Amino acid sequence: DTGVSQDPRHKITKRGQNVTFRCDPISEHNRLYWYRQTLGQGPEFLTYFQNEAQLEKSRLLSDRFSAERPKGSFSTLEIQRTEQGDSAMYLCASNQPGQGWETQYFGPGTRLLVL
């Protein structure tokens, strides 16, 4: 088991462009979470999936953001018409109910810079 992986690790884009990030959870985990972390802050919850179902979305997830997990395995987070305020670290985590819900395993994150 290689842990949670995220791709790309870094992304620089110009304002107004669309970006997509990918997260591959630990293989047997059916819950997948997305967080955003800005400088000097802790991770902020964005959304989570159980299998392919998106169960909760934060108010932080504006209509420019969309997350999918089509086959209940990997997930993508797309940001449309990026703004400078979207610059942040985007973290993905996964876990398996029954292991202890608190044990969310985080990936290394994708750092986004919007110019």
Partner 1 sequence: DQQVKQNSPSLSVQEGRISILNCDYTNSMFDYFLWYKKYPAEGPTFLISISSIKDKNEDGRFTVFLNKSAKHLSLHIVPSQPGDSAVYFCAASARTSYDKVIFGPGTSLSVIP
Interaction of residue 110 with partner 1, rule CB under 8 A: no
Of the pair 45, 74, the CB lying nearest partner 1 is at: 45
Interaction of residue 60 with partner 1, rule CB under 8 A: no
Contact characters 14-53, partner 1, x per CB under 8 A: -----------------x-x------xxxxxx--x-----
Interaction of residue 72 with partner 1, rule CB under 8 A: no
Three-class secondary structure assignment of the chain? CCCCEEECCEEEECCCCCEEEEEECCCCCCEEEEEEECCCCCCEEEEEEECCEEEEECCCCCCCEEEECCCCCCEEEEECCCCHHHCEEEEEEEECCCCCCCCCEECCCEEEEEC
For partner 1, the binding residue among 19, 24, 77, 107 (CB under 8 A) is 107
Interaction of residue 98 with partner 1, rule CB under 8 A: no
User: Given the rule CB under 8 A, which residues bind partner 1?
Assistant: 4, 31, 33, 40-45, 48, 55-56, 58, 91, 93, 101-109
